[in-house]
Amino acid sequence: MRYFLDTEFNGMGGELLSLALVGDDGRELYRVVPLLNEPVPWVAQNVLPVIRCKGAEPLGGAHDRLGNVIAAFLMTDPKPCIIADWPDDISYFCKALIIGPGQMVNIPSIAFEITRVDAYPTDLQGAIQHNALWDARALRHKIINQIPASAL
């Protein structure tokens, strides 16, 4: 199954702030990671005010637990495909899967795809740009409803 991914992070190369996956089936995972450093001005103005929304669950601790949360979410899918619209999203996702030196969570197989589309503007009611959950929903909506399968 496909899972649409978005992340928010503290400036280019900065720490992960939130991660969202939205499945083809509508299942959703959204976690907010504790902020460890002072936010860059753009993030303070555009991301932090909207980071909490319905469905947001704080991770509340070590970043390595995020990998376990992701693994549990994908557990029943033997061949998940993660789709993102930007390479950093996949990079942060992969970093979350690493739980220690030489160790990663137990995900036997996983595929990645980058599809360069603009998810906004969107006609999704209530959409909040720069919120990872809403951005993942908007990406899913755009790909499922507006891009012909032959164009992917």
Given the candidates 3.30.420.10, 3.40.47.10, 3.40.50.300, 3.30.420.480, the CATH classification of the domain at 2-151 is 3.30.420.10
% of the chain at pLDDT higher than 70: 89
The structural domains of the chain, with segments of one domain joined by +, span 2-151
- pTM exceeding 0.75: yes
Average the pLDDT over each of 55-69, 70-84, 123-137 and give the range with the smallest value. Answer: 55-69
DSSP string covering 73-133, please?
HHTT-SS-EEEESSHHHHHHHHHHHEEETTEE---S--EEEE------S---TT--TT-HH
The span from the CA of 10 to the CA of 35, in Å, is 9
pLDDT at residue 54, as a whole number:
66
Residue 146, pLDDT score: 73
DSSP-assigned letter for residue 33: P
Q: Is residue 147's pLDDT more than 70?
A: no
- Range 26-47 average pLDDT: 92
Instruction: Output the average pLDDT for the chain.
Output: 88
At residue 52 the predicted structure's pLDDT band, cuts being 50, 70 and 90, is confident
What single-letter amino acid sits at 36? L
